[in-house]
Amino acid sequence: MERAQGPSIDPADVARFSAQAAEWWDPKGPFAPLHRFNPARLRFVRDRVADHYGLNANTRAPFAGLKLIDIGCGGGLLAEPMRRMGFEVTALDASSENIGTARAHAEQVGLDIRYKASTVEQMVEAGEGPFDVVLTMEVIEHVADPEAFVRACSQLVKPGGIMIVATLNRTLKGLLLGKFVAEYVLRWVPAGTHNWKQFLKPDEIRDMLKDEPLTVTGPYGLSYDLLNDRWGEGDSDINYMMVAIKKA
């Protein structure tokens, strides 16, 4: 299977993550930081979507009947828990290796997730969607054309639907902690995983979406508590999320 192509894709980043595809589900491997980060991301998505649609997040499979797409899904670390929450999940990644790993793991645990080696632009061109929920988490800082990417993502949101974008902030704190400490001191991710110049400020994302029929709120920060080794909501100087609601 050939790797997906698109104008916003950065081939070097696709190749980097493809080389690590088999290690996505190793909680002590290269993606260990994502395994620790995941609970905070999941809580945020669950609570925001439940609030938006007036659902009780504490019920079993509260999002049954809603369609979700996870753009840049990697090995499926978000797609699987989203399916368990009841969403009908489509998940795509530009790396066919990542999709192969994600599909194999979902089959092993008995989850029916629609995985596609594709780009968001290809999904738009194919007339896919729309989706009740669009997620693009820690992806936009790895693409060649962030504006083209996030605007394409927004086109997959149904009227009245919700999109959540997560990324890293281009601040001095983001450079020191999100780049140098994470890569060279704590060694949470391999050196070279991030390019600080590709980090985005919240207002830049807001500006990229200004011509789309969306109401954008945020940033909503996530921060790491070193003493308790856990992530939770906090300041937005390093990691943050933006929420966009498409006008009905």
Q: Is 41 annotated as a binding residue?
A: yes
Strand partners, 166: 137, 241
Q: Is 10 annotated as a binding residue?
A: no
Please state whether 27 falls in left (phi above 0), alpha (psi between -120 and 50) or beta. Answer: alpha
Q: What is the dihedral of CA 124, 129, 131, 136, to 10 degrees?
A: -30
Q: What is the dihedral of CA 152, 130, 141, 208, to 10 degrees?
A: 50
Q: Is 85 annotated as a binding residue?
A: no
For every residue of 72-103, DSSP letters joined together read: T-TTTTTHHHHHHTT-EEEEEES-HHHHHHHH
Contact criterion met (CB below 8 Å) for 133 and 158: no
53: which 2 tokens? 């649609």
Nearest Cα to Cα of residue 130 among 103, 169, 158? 158
| Residue 18 amino acid letter | S
- β-strand 214-225 against 239-246: which pairing, if any? antiparallel
Q: Is 112 annotated as a binding residue?
A: no
Could you give the CA distance from residue 83 to residue 80 in angstroms, rounded to a whole number? 5
198: which 2 tokens? 């590709």
Binding region = 41, 72, 93, 137
The annotation places the binding site for S-adenosyl-L-methionine at 41, 72, 93, 137
